[in-house]
Amino acid sequence: MKELRSPQQEAAEDIFFGQLVIIWARWFVILTGAILALWAASSISELTVASILIVALMAVNFFVHGRYMMERPINRTLTGLVSLIDLTIITLIVLAWRGQTGLDSPFFIFYYPVLAAFAFVFTPGFTLVYTVLALISYAGATFVSDPAALLQFQDLELLITRLITLAAMGGLGTYYWRIQRNRRRLAKNPQAERSRAPAGD
Amino acid sequence: MTNKFRLTPQDPEDLMYGQSVIVSARWILVVSGLFLALWNPGPMSELRMQILFILLLAIANFYLQAQLLMKKPASSGVVYFASAADLAVISVMVILGGGFESNVYVFYFPALLALSVAFSPASTLLFAGGAAGFYTFISFGSALFGDIDIQVLIARLIMMTAVAVCGQIYWRIERDRRSAAVKARKSLVAQLREVQAATD
């Protein structure tokens, strides 16, 4: 039985079904951001700025989640754009939130679920770009916050460790994405040889 | 798009496919662990212990990788034990690095991601909950020797949960897509047979 779907149609289906993972990753980031903002804000202006940011993110995610629940999920371009906004916001938090910036910022961990979710949904090519962008953003944010820190042996070790684990999220996510696509193709066409199943996007 | 959470028993095929993700995550742990140990070595005895741990992990992973290459994946018991050992090794490294102050906790993220796409929801809940619980215990234990930032600890725990939940959501979405594909194929084959029977 010949496969009727093109790789482009399959990728569109991946976005259609898989964007729930990205939505939930974003809800977790919003939840954590809200807890931290309400708990840790030390002034009215700090709380105001944090609240506006969180409400804006909630509004975006509510719109995206609502569309998904109505079975009219947003398209690939919009999903990619919103994911880029996620990266930007997390990088801004690493750069500026609560005086703990760059390598000292504990909020770089927001990158982990966001990267994993993106890798589950998008094709390997897009995931590679997104992961590299996240790594550059984080490394750039640490460099901008304290250029001298990266010349220190221990700080550089810390940065490399974090970059390796961040890259691992993108890599493992995309690896599992490939496995699942091959399994799906096999489910549609059991005669296909497992080892011959194409892996590229 | 109706993905209700339900506890399902472990599907051996899921475990077989997911095992390769777990093995890959473990290679990342081995290579990064070796890099960390050699980059900024501590005292000789400590370095010796670290390298011994890493080599044992590498040997065990080589065995599992070889099994996968020979298309004879390890049994579920072995996979569960190996994943528990991964989380235990990361936890030991966190304890040795000073508990809450240690930066090694980031290795929990790829480990949890890998097991969340391989294991059933119940097993993922058990492993992820165990890792988060143990990390909380380690962090509060290290509070005896210094301050811990509760807010940061909560953020770390939520992100660990987020990674495991995202893995599980994707696991369920793909399972539903596969079963829909199988149903569609069966229905198409049945229709083709009907048409063939009618024309014969």
Nearest to A172 among B39, B113, B188 (CB): B113
Does the pLDDT value for residue A1 go beyond 70?
no
In a domain, A109, yes or no: yes
In a domain, A1, yes or no: no
Per-position b or e across A144-172, b if 16+ CB within 10 A of its CB? ebeeebbeeeebbebbebbbbbbbbbbbb
Does the pLDDT value for residue A191 go beyond 50?
yes
Query: Which residues, numbered 62 to 101 in chain A, qualify as contacts with chain B under a Cβ-Cβ cut-off of 8 Å?
Result: 68-69, 71
Which string of DSSP letters, residue by residue, matches B161-185?
HHHHHHHHHHHHHHHHHHHHHHHHH
- CA–chain centroid gap for B71, Å, is 20
CB contact under 8 A, B170 and A29: no
Mean pLDDT of chain A: 86
Distance, CA of A104 to CA of A125 (rounded, Å): 31
Nearest to A165 among B3, B110, B167 (CB): B110
- Contact between A121 and A18 (Cβ < 8 Å): yes
Q: How many beta-carbon pairs below 8 A join chains A and B?
A: 152
Predicted pLDDT of residue A114? 96
**Domains: count for chain A:** 1
Predicted pLDDT of residue B41? 77
pLDDT digits (tens, 9 = 90+) for A39-85: 877 778 778 888 888 888 899 999 999 999 988 888 889 999 999 99
In Å, how far is A7's CA from the nearest CA of chain B?
16
Chain A residues within 8 A of B188 when measuring between CB atoms: 1
Question: Contacts from A137-140 at CB under 8 Å and sequence distance 24+?
Answer: A137/A87, A137/A88, A137/A90, A137/A91, A138/A91, A138/A94, A138/A108, A138/A111, A138/A162, A138/A163, A138/A166, A139/A163, A140/A91
Band the pLDDT of A200: cuts 50, 70, 90. Answer: very low
Which string of DSSP letters, residue by residue, matches chain B?
--------PPPHHHHHHHHHHHHHHHHHHHHHHHHHHHHS---HHHHHHHHHHHHHHHHHHHHHHHHHHTT-PPPHHHHHHHHHHHHHHHHHHHHHTTGGG-SGGGGHHHHHHHHHHHS-HHHHHHHHHHHHHHHHHHHHHHTTTS---HHHHHHHHHHHHHHHHHHHHHHHHHHHHHHHHHHHHHHHHHHHHHHHHHH-
Distance, CA of A105 to CA of A71 (rounded, Å): 38
Does the beta carbon of B25 lie under 8 angstroms from any beta carbon of chain A? Answer: yes
pLDDT digits (tens, 9 = 90+) for B88-114: 989 988 888 888 988 889 999 999 999
Per residue of chain B (200 residues), give pLDDT as tens: 544 444 455 677 778 888 889 999 999 999 998 888 888 777 777 788 788 888 888 999 999 999 888 888 888 888 899 999 999 989 988 888 888 988 889 999 999 999 999 999 999 999 999 999 999 999 998 877 777 889 899 999 999 999 999 999 999 998 888 888 888 888 888 888 888 888 87
Would you say how long chain B is, in residues? 200
Residues 6+ apart with CB under 8 A from B108: B87, B90, B131, B135, B160
In a domain, A26, yes or no: yes
Instruction: Please give the residue range of the domain that contains residue A54.
Output: 7-196
In a domain, A125, yes or no: yes
Band the pLDDT of A16: cuts 50, 70, 90. Answer: confident
Nearest to B182 among A39, A180, A187 (CB): A187
Query: Which residues, numbered 60 to 79 in chain B, qualify as contacts with chain A under a Cβ-Cβ cut-off of 8 Å?
Result: none
In a domain, A2, yes or no: no
Would you say how long chain A is, in residues? 201
Nearest to B173 among A17, A107, A112 (CB): A17
Does the pLDDT value for residue A199 go beyond 70?
no
- Contact between B107 and B90 (Cβ < 8 Å): yes
What sign results for the dihedral spanned by CA atoms B40, B41, B42, B43?
negative
User: Which residue out of A14, A180, A184 would a mutagenesis test of the B interface target, given it has the greatest number of B Cβ atoms within 10 Å?
Assistant: A180
In Å, how far is B175's CA from the nearest CA of chain A?
9
Predicted pLDDT of residue A135? 97
Does the pLDDT value for residue A88 go beyond 90?
yes
Mean pLDDT of chain B: 86
In a domain, A51, yes or no: yes
Q: State pTM to two decimals.
A: 0.87
Query: Distances in Å between the alpha carbon of B178 and those of A10, A182, B122, B162?
Result: 13, 10, 21, 24
In a domain, A73, yes or no: yes
CB contact under 8 A, A110 and B159: yes
Ramachandran bin of A71, using left for φ above 0, alpha for ψ from -120 to 50, beta for the remaining angles: left
Band the pLDDT of A201: cuts 50, 70, 90. Answer: very low
Chain B residues within 8 A of A183 when measuring between CB atoms: 17, 174, 178
- Contact between B57 and B87 (Cβ < 8 Å): no
Chain B residues within 8 A of A117 when measuring between CB atoms: 166, 170
Predicted pLDDT of residue A198? 41
Does the pLDDT value for residue A188 go beyond 90?
no
CB contact under 8 A, A157 and B39: yes
Distance, CA of B177 to CA of B147 (rounded, Å): 48
In a domain, A201, yes or no: no
Does the beta carbon of A152 lie under 8 angstroms from any beta carbon of chain B? Answer: no
